[in-house]
């Protein structure tokens, strides 16, 4: 199968480019900037996309173009940093912008091959400090914004295209059309589907595992549950599934998880380790340290459970994790990516890990996992649940995590989520959550003075979690929820609603 190869310059959206290409049923592979032409040919490359990145092309040690790429004849689409790199290599001028652009921008004009067929307003998602000042010889400017004269340029005769904005993010609504125009220019095969992903993952697991057993920790979320179904298809009864109740789940969720997974036929062992995790989190307030403490405690519990199971069934060699690519790149797992936060499955594992890891979803996004779940037969009410972080409520309980603070957060979260379902707004949000802040403030309840906690509510719209916008929930609904919370949870006297997008914020507060 032919492909489009994405060159990763460290953008947090690099894998998102491949995700959009997969939506167009194009097989896509990511490679480092030093990839050879022989490797590109081995991948069946019919085109190359140069990603964005956090650096300036003028910075010392800034990565350059793959050797020989400009002489290969391959169509090129260059995005942000990639645009600057291409422009500079071909004789254009790149410099720091007088007016940097971050977030939403509107193209004041657009045209050319990539925009052919586009009509109406074109909203683009920008994230840049440098800009192309003068295009290279042979290139024409095909789009501009109020602040950026060269928002897009192309040399159609050489099949070379460049964009200052990010067409891969959902906040560039017509960006997929632009990517599809580039796909059409390459002539690449379009046959990549969720069934292909499943077939590839099953074959890969079987090749790696052989006749060995696999231990899987199930949290009850979409990722680990889908992974359980995939591994069951791949290795059947050699899958050992363990649900570790770390005491950081939402109200009633542990019981719901157990019922749901058993109903899907998963052979499940349940371990109540809530006290062990609270001990590990005692006195810990830094979010990074929380994640590491939870990751270490999780592995310790797995060691103990694995030892018990091995006494009964024989040795277990592999540990499966439902790590997704957003977890990886936010933990600086890409080529030169900026570190946003560590993930409990990424970089938080002990050096003496006694299992070999299996991570079949490491290159997938949340929405792609949902598609896989549907193809594997997972019921809709489980498949479409909001994402929930592996470290659970610990990262939504800002400051120290205690049993008492967790109980307050659980009750607030339950009121918020239940109200979203009751008023028909649950599906309006990609993710919704409550945060218990370390702030306390003065309030009035009845005729008395209170000094109680402040909680924050957050709901976002997204598809993959890489970018997100705050959900415009009705004011009347928010007022109702706020009233319910302060009336039902005496430890809370103030409720705020987060209206920050990602970027610049993240979805979780931590």
Q: Is residue 505 part of a domain?
A: no
Residues in the chain: 510
Number of domains composing the chain: 3
469 with 493, same domain?
yes
Report pLDDT for 204. 94
Last-in-domain residue among 334, 349, 383: 383
Q: Which domain holds residue 208?
A: 194-383
Tokens of 387: 């994402």
Q: How far apart are CA 358 and CA 170, in angstroms?
A: 30
Q: How far apart are CA 370 and CA 383, in angstroms?
A: 6
23 with 171, same domain?
yes
Report pLDDT for 6. 96
182 with 198, same domain?
no
**Exposed/middle/buried for 421, CB within 10 Å: 0-12, 13-18, 19+?**
exposed
- Residues 31, 168, 253, 491: which is the catalytic one? 168
- Residues 31, 43, 80, 344: which is the catalytic one? 80
Asked if 258 is an active-site residue, the reply is no
Report pLDDT for 268. 82
Terminal CA-CA length for the chain: 42
Report pLDDT for 364. 82
Q: How far apart are CA 417 and CA 25, in angstroms?
A: 35
247 with 345, same domain?
yes
Report pLDDT for 450. 87
Tokens of 232: 């069951």
Q: How far is CA 466 from the centre of its chain?
A: 5
Last-in-domain residue among 341, 356, 383: 383
Beta strand 318-320 pairing with 356-358:
parallel
With contact defined as beta carbons under 8 Å apart, do 324 and 219 qualify?
Answer: no
Stretch (H or E) spanning 197: helix 194-209
Beta strand 214-218 pairing with 93-110:
unpaired
335 with 405, same domain?
no
260 with 363, same domain?
yes
Q: Is residue 143 part of a domain?
A: yes
200 with 331, same domain?
yes
134 with 208, same domain?
no
pLDDT digits (tens, 9 = 90+) for 314-352: 888 898 988 887 676 555 444 544 444 444 454 444 555
219 with 296, same domain?
yes
179 with 250, same domain?
no
Stretch (H or E) spanning 7: strand 3-7
CATH code, domain carrying 222: 3.40.50.620
CATH code, domain carrying 152: 3.40.50.880
- pTM, to two decimals: 0.69
SS (H, E, C) 333-357: CCCCCCCCCCECCECCCCCCCCCEE
Low-confidence ranges of the chain (pLDDT < 70): 98-102, 128, 326, 328-353, 446-447
Q: Is residue 508 part of a domain?
A: no
Q: Is residue 345 part of a domain?
A: yes
228 with 107, same domain?
no
Stretch (H or E) spanning 81: helix 81-89
Q: Is residue 105 part of a domain?
A: yes
Q: Is residue 502 part of a domain?
A: no
Report pLDDT for 346. 45
Asked if 397 is an active-site residue, the reply is no
CATH code, domain carrying 483: 3.30.300.10
Last-in-domain residue among 332, 361, 383: 383
Asked if 166 is an active-site residue, the reply is yes
- Residues 84, 166, 171, 335: which is the catalytic one? 166
186 closest CA partner among 11, 39, 28, 31 = 28
Residue 430 has what DSSP assignment? S
Q: Is residue 449 part of a domain?
A: yes
Q: How far apart are CA 256 and CA 251, in angstroms?
A: 10
353 with 475, same domain?
no
Q: Is residue 313 part of a domain?
A: yes
């Amino acid at each position: 199968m032919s492909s489009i190869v994405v060159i990763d310059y460290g953008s947090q959206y690099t894998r998102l480019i491949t995700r959009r290409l997969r939506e167009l049923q194009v097989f896509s592979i990511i490679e480092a900037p030093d990839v050879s032409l022989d490797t590109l040919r081995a991948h069946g490359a019919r085109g190359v996309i140069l990603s964005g990145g956090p650096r300036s092309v003028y910075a010392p040690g800034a990565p350059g173009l793959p050797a020989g790429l400009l002489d290969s004849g391959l169509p090129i689409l260059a995005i942000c940093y990639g645009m600057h790199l291409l422009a500079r290599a071909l004789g254009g001028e790149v410099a720091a912008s007088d007016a940097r652009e971050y977030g939403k921008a509107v193209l004041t004009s657009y045209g050319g091959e990539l925009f052919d067929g586009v009509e109406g307003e074109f909203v683009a998602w920008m994230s840049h400090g440098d800009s192309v000042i003068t295009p290279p010889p042979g290139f024409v400017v095909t789009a501009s914004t109020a602040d950026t004269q060269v928002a897009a340029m192309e040399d159609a005769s050489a099949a070379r295209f460049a964009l200052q904005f990010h067409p891969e993010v959902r906040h560039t609504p017509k960006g997929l059309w632009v990517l599809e125009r580039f796909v059409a220019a390459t002539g690449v095969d379009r046959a990549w589907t969720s069934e292909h992903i499943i077939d590839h993952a099953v074959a890969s697991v079987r090749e790696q595992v052989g006749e060995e057993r696999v231990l899987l920790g199930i949290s009850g979320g979409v990722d680990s549950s889908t992974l359980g179904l995939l591994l069951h298809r791949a290795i059947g009864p050699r899958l050992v599934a363990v649900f570790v109740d770390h005491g950081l789940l939402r109200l009633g969720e542990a019981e719901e998880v157990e019922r749901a997974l058993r109903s899907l036929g998963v052979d499940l062992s349940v371990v109540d380790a809530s006290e062990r995790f609270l001990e590990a989190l005692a006195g810990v307030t830094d979010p990074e340290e929380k994640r590491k403490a939870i990751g270490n405690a999780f592995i310790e519990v797995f060691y103990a459970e694995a030892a018990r199971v091995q006494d009964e069934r024989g040795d277990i060699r592999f540990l499966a994790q439902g790590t997704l690519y957003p977890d990886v790149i936010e933990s600086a797992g890409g080529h030169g990516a900026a570190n946003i936060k560590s993930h409990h499955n990424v970089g938080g594992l002990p050096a003496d890990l006694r299992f070999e890891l299996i991570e079949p979803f490491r290159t997938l996004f949340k929405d792609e996992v949902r598609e896989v779940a549907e193809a594997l037969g997972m019921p809709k009410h489980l498949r479409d649940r909001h994402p929930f972080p592996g470290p659970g409520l610990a990262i939504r309980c800002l400051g120290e995590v205690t049993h008492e603070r967790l109980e307050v957060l659980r009750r607030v979260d339950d009121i918020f989520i239940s109200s979203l379902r009751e008023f028909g707004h649950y599906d309006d949000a990609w993710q919704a959550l409550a945060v218990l802040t370390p702030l306390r403030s003065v309030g009035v309840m009845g005729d008395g003075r209170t000094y109680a906690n402040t909680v924050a509510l957050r709901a976002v719209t997204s598809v993959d979690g890489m970018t997100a916008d705050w959900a415009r929930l009705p004011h009347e609904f928010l007022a109702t929820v706020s009233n319910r919370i302060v009336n039902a949870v005496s430890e809370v006297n103030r409720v705020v609603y987060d209206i920050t997008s990602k970027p610049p914020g993240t979805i979780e507060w931590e």
